[in-house]
Structure 1
Amino acid sequence: MQPNIGEIHHLRCLAHLINLIEKKITKFTKITTGNETQSGSQFIDMDEDDETNDIVFSDSDSGLIKNFKSLVEKCRKISALFHQSSIFPVILTEKQKAAGVKQNRLLQDVPTRWNSKFLMLDRYSEQNVMVNEVLRDRRLNNKHEHLTFNNNEIKSLNDSVKILQPFYDATVELSGIKYPTLSIAMPIVLSLRESLAANENDTMFSLVLKKFFVHYMEQYLAKYNILNEILLITATFLDVRTKFFVRCTESRKKEYLNASKMYIKRVVDDFPVDLKIKLGLNDTSNSQRNVNLSQSTDACRSNRLQYLDFTRDYENK
């Protein structure tokens, strides 16, 4: 069968796109819009190669985004102290042992390493009490007490980790090398969308942070036409775990199902007759199958990305 050059598809690395979205929030600088009295602040991405549109916040919202950036910078500064000094890690270990908590070191984020910002913030969320005790320790002569986290910062820190956790989970799942990832790309994207939906328990900080990520997520999805890519749609349909498109609206679900079936039919119609016979494509006895699936042991993790919904996928089918 001769390859058709028109059938060669270029699929973007979705894990890379997800991390571009996550990196956006620390690549911005506040500017005025030309009128000093004009309300609202615009954040401009300093990456010249990026074609996404900028987002405009109200003054109050922009202040919350600045709080997030300040929180990240504070964590970086504290991490630098703990990595450059020999006394800080010693005191931290002492206090961790005394409190009976995990003896984990603080982490630093690296711009070129995916999810390193989340991992840094997650570690601070876990160790913020111990870090505060170290910074207040009298052996340090109160030189670094001003770096301790206050209650508002700890709340923002925990909210940030909760919002960034699904991005980390998505990257880990899409980076798998022992299983195919094409069929889980769309479910993961749709699950990320769900995780960014506002809910009644969200703080103002969480709402603004979600608004930021939703803005750029939708732009990247539209720019690269992710949700209309026929190979991703068909791969999702062919995977028994995801074939029902449960996170889509009814109209979009029907659209995806029809598009998948038409694409498969078009591909199969081009198969030679002997290949169709060999594959049993004319045998209708295989049209109905009973597939037994067990739920993943990780499927019930709280606050984690649930891109495979076993309840909606199977119990109601």
Structure 2
Amino acid sequence: MTIAAEEAAFTLHVKCYAHTLNLAAQRALKITAVARLLGRVRRIVNFFRRSTTANHMLKEKQRLLQLPEHKLMTDVVTRWNSAHDMLERFLEQQPAICAALLSSEVRKTEKDLCTLTESDVTTAEEVVSALKPMKEATQYMSKEKTPTLSVIAPLQDTLIDGLKPIEGESAVIKEMKAAMSGDLQKRYIDLKATLHACSAMDPRFKSLPFPTENQRQEVYDGLIAEAQDQPMPSELSLWSVVEEGTGKCNGSADDEGMASEEETVDDGVRFKEGESSQGQHPPPRNPKPSCPLAALLGGERYGGGAQPKTNTQENQAKEQMTRYKEADLLEVKEDPLVWWKEHQYEYPLLSHLAKRYLCIPGTSVSSERVFSTAGDIVTAQRSALLPDHFDQIIFLNKNLKRM
């Protein structure tokens, strides 16, 4: 992937964060004490998967102990979270496993049985607890319908902070945390500025609590400079003007359904100048809505009025950034893309930056899923499938649910 990015001359290449989490977790799983624990659990799981007698006895013990009738899981070398799932399922079924291994039926067929001590079970519980944040982060980064690059910086800071040693932890867990924290800290050193800028454009993380105050201000200043250098689309400016007004010019007797210059409309009742239905003065006249033509041609040259203050694109960018920072934070569970769609006319310059930053995926999980799907479609029984038909099937498989 790195070579492909270099040959494609990408100016920005962010490595897969799910792979980064995988490398950090694998370092923790290679610790001697953890590797031995996994080996013992794996041996017990494989015994139940191999022996029909033991598997039958396990199901009986599950029903007697009122435990979920789940099958034991084994880990896969290429997926670190499968080790977490194996330990978690083993701990869930620990009472039934012990009861099945102590039964006379199982001991008749298998004499050399592997069991776990109380310290092993305690260590397994601590390992599952230590790996749980890494698994949850991996699951979130594997999503396809929400932006993921903006989440890398907050996740990185939270994970590293959560991997600090706690008083009373065992030596094994401290060693695991040190291995994972050390591996995470050496990643994305050269991309911190980009990741912070992307997080700043996400309304969920725009407060940027993880960098220092100087770094935070540098991120905001860089985004302002980037926003003021990009061209403002004319159609966006026009739409913002139209939405502020009513879509029609006021003050013309030729416009149907509009009050004339002598009349004021209030709650659907018309009054002449200085009159009301009770012979009293009418309520204060509401200001007339703006007109797109007046907004475009008015001012000093056309239409008279006071000369407007100079509002350069630099000032617009600063003003929009100020309002954006003062707005309420979006909840983490909400979709930032929906928020920007609703506020794109309120922050026109920043909304274009948001589109550029939030469209970058934080992982390569989506592309790897396409390869996995392709392997399921092209089989020995479908070897005559035409390339065009194959492309259409892949497209429908990945997009039909979104239509």
TM-score by length of structure 1 reads 0.69
In structure 2, do the counterparts of structure 1 residues 265 and 296 end up closer, same or farther at CA, with 3 Å as the change threshold? closer
Provide the residue aligned with 1:23 in structure 2: 26
**Identity percentage of aligned residues:** 23
Provide the residue aligned with 1:168 in structure 2: 135
- 1:103-162 residue CA offsets vs partner (Å, 9 max, x unmatched): 111111111224111111111122222212222221012635641211000000001001
Provide the residue aligned with 2:178 in structure 1: 211
CA contact (8 A) 2:203 2:329 kept: no
CA contact (8 A) 1:244 1:253 kept: no
Task: Write the letter of the residue equivalent to 2:229.
Answer: D
**Shift of the alpha carbon at 1:183?**
1.2
Does residue 241 of structure 1 match 2:207? no
Provide the residue aligned with 1:287 in structure 2: 323
In structure 2, distance between residues paired with 1:24 and 1:177: 27
Aligned CA-pair RMSD: 2.8
**Shift of the alpha carbon at 1:26?**
4.4
Provide the residue aligned with 2:146 in structure 1: 179
Provide the residue aligned with 1:100 in structure 2: 66
**Shift of the alpha carbon at 1:180?**
0.7
**Shift of the alpha carbon at 1:168?**
0.3
Task: Write the letter of the residue equivalent to 1:72.
Answer: L
Does residue 225 of structure 1 match 2:189? yes
**Shift of the alpha carbon at 1:71?**
0.6
Does residue 197 of structure 1 match 2:160? no
* 3-state SS of paired residue (2:93): helix
Q: Max radius of gyration: which structure?
A: 2
Task: Write the letter of the residue equivalent to 2:223.
Answer: I
CA contact (8 A) 1:132 1:149 kept: no
Which among 32, 37, 44 is matched to residue 71 of structure 1? 37
Which among 221, 224, 232 is matched to residue 265 of structure 1? 224
**Shift of the alpha carbon at 1:243?**
1.8
* 3-state SS of paired residue (1:198): coil
In structure 2, distance between residues paired with 1:235 and 1:144: 59
In structure 2, distance between residues paired with 1:69 and 1:23: 10
**Shift of the alpha carbon at 1:72?**
0.5
- 1:3-56 residue CA offsets vs partner (Å, 9 max, x unmatched): xx99820001011111011112445xxxxxxxxxxxxxxxxxxxxxxxxxxxxx
**Shift of the alpha carbon at 1:296?**
4.8
**Shift of the alpha carbon at 1:232?**
1.2
- 1:145-189 residue CA offsets vs partner (Å, 9 max, x unmatched): 641211000000001001111110110011111211111111111
Does residue 132 of structure 1 match 2:98? yes
* 3-state SS of paired residue (1:113): coil
In structure 1, distance between residues paired with 2:206 and 2:35: 40
Provide the residue aligned with 2:81 in structure 1: 115
CA contact (8 A) 1:186 1:236 kept: yes
Structure 2: gaps (5+ residues): 1-7, 241-312, 335-403
Provide the residue aligned with 1:302 in structure 2: none
In structure 2, do the counterparts of structure 1 residues 290 and 265 end up closer, same or farther at CA, with 3 Å as the change threshold? closer
In structure 1, distance between residues paired with 2:204 and 2:94: 39
Greater CA deviation, 275-284 or 257-266?
275-284
Task: Write the letter of the residue equivalent to 2:124.
Answer: L
**Shift of the alpha carbon at 1:84?**
2.1
In structure 2, distance between residues paired with 1:244 and 1:197: 24
In structure 2, distance between residues paired with 1:149 and 1:185: 38
Provide the residue aligned with 2:350 in structure 1: none
TM-score by length of structure 2 reads 0.56
Task: Write the letter of the residue equivalent to 1:156.
Answer: T
Greater RCO structure (CA 8 Å; 6+ sep): 2
In structure 1, distance between residues paired with 2:223 and 2:77: 41
In structure 2, do the counterparts of structure 1 residues 270 and 129 end up closer, same or farther at CA, with 3 Å as the change threshold? same
- 1:32-91 residue CA offsets vs partner (Å, 9 max, x unmatched): xxxxxxxxxxxxxxxxxxxxxxxxxxxxxxxxx422111101111112112222222221
Provide the residue aligned with 1:82 in structure 2: 48
In structure 2, distance between residues paired with 1:218 and 1:270: 34
